[in-house]
Amino acid sequence: MPSRSLICRTGAALLFLLFPLVCGAHEHDWRADMENDASQLSRLHSLIIMHQGQEAAAMDFSGAGLDTPANIKSLSKTVLAALVGIAIEKGVFEGVDQPLVDTLGDQVPDAATNGVERITLGNLLSMQAGLQRTSGRLYGSWVKSDNWVGYVLTRPFVDEPGGRMLYSTGSTHLLSAALTESTGRTTLALARDWLGEPLGITFPAWDQDPQGIYLGGNNMMLSPRALARIGELYRKAGKVAEEQRLFSKRWVEESWRGRGRSAYTDDPYGYGWFLRPLAGETGYYGRGYGGQLLYVIPSLELTVVMTSDPTPPSPGSSYLRRQVQLLEKHVIPAFRSGISSTP
């Protein structure tokens, strides 16, 4: 009869041999289960999960490829906010408290609404300009106007600057105009130089207003992997490499500090980023019409990208909830439990 010590040694050896198989099965299970659930979202085009800077999962449901630029809709606002942060870092802007009118030169119309001089760059970043919105049902009349900047600046005040959040693409378009006026370069050129080159991503041209200013806050074209790199830039507090930083850690902290709240989700909003609790973790996200999502979960060193069909009609809030459920059901539990990031 085998000795107790031999039995113990044999049992330990079997556990040692089986442990990688068990772990591998668990790792396979969460990916397979997530992919199965994700495939049920008929509008979903892509899903990328970055963990500690490495791709843990990369799924292409549309066949277009993960390196192919696509319309990211209002997720463009998050990208534009990054450009403003870089402009502050470079000294182009004085800071978020700088009055907008100081950056626009002669683009401020004579008929501008009384009080626009009180609006700061920070108010625009956090959607707290106080001016009547130019999104939703008011978007069409705005983009049909012959001067988008002038149109926004002649809207009436419906709240004080720094008051409640009023989601408006006109606010972020003013930031694009400020970047163009203050640098003498187009927002497209700045995006390619300030983000595209250091991150190794491509910025195709997108819509311009009648004066040639690139639309601030909508219709940028970026690939899913490009979005992941922008998310990683924020997760790493503005660092691209050990010796290269595009903006400060403080900029990220300020961007992720809630100011106003969304009238639709009640999520706090910072500078181009919403905040939301996710299964016990704090997630920071940008979103665009139709289901374009960029999530950063710093506590788990995660960046998640989802792109979807951007064509109308909107899938509504139920689709967003199902996207978030993928994170809460599969991604967060997997990485909280310490599963390896390698596919």
Q: What is the per-residue pLDDT across 144-175, written as a single tens digit (0 to 9) for each?
A: 999 999 999 999 999 999 999 999 999 999 99
pLDDT at 241: 85
Share of the chain above pLDDT 90, in %: 87
What is the 3-state secondary structure of 111-166? CCCCCHHHCEHHHHHCCCCCECCCCHHHHHHHHCCCCHHHHHHCCCECCCCCCCCC
Average pLDDT over residues 84-91: 98
Determine the 3-state secondary structure of 212 from DSSP.
coil
Label residue 338 by pLDDT band (50, 70, 90).
confident
In a domain, 22, yes or no: no
Q: Using alpha carbons, list the distances in angstroms from residue 299 to 91, 150, 240.
A: 31, 43, 19
Q: Is 50 exceeded by the pLDDT of residue 95?
A: yes
Q: Which residues lie closer than 8 Å to 115 by C-beta, 6 or more apart?
A: 157, 161
Q: Are 309 and 290 in contact (CB under 8 A)?
A: yes
- The alpha carbon torsion through 103, 106, 109, 114 (nearest 10 deg) reads 50
Counted domains in the chain: 1
Q: Are 269 and 256 in contact (CB under 8 A)?
A: no
pLDDT tens by residue, 101-137: 999 999 999 999 999 999 999 999 999 999 999 999 9
Q: Is 90 exceeded by the pLDDT of residue 269?
A: yes
pLDDT tens by residue, 237-256: 999 988 899 999 999 999 99
Host H or E run for residue 56: strand 54-60
Instruction: Report the candidate in 292, 250, 273, 291 with the shortest Cα–Cα distance to residue 283.
Output: 273
Name the residue range of residue 186's domain.
28-336
* Spatial distance between the Cα atoms of 107 and 33, rounded to a whole number of angstroms: 53
pLDDT at 339: 61
In a domain, 2, yes or no: no
Instruction: Report the candidate in 158, 181, 178 with the shortest Cα–Cα distance to residue 168.
Output: 158
In a domain, 341, yes or no: no
pLDDT at 300: 98
In a domain, 5, yes or no: no
Q: Is 50 exceeded by the pLDDT of residue 13?
A: no
In a domain, 226, yes or no: yes
We report the CATH number of the domain holding residue 300 as 3.40.710.10
Output the DSSP codes for 292-319.
Answer: EEEEEEGGGTEEEEEEE--SSSP-HHHH
Instruction: Report the candidate in 137, 127, 157 with the shortest Cα–Cα distance to residue 263.
Output: 127
In a domain, 272, yes or no: yes
Cα 194 to the chain's mean position, in Å?
A: 17
In a domain, 35, yes or no: yes
Residues found in the chain: 343
In a domain, 13, yes or no: no
Place of tokens 């790493």: 236
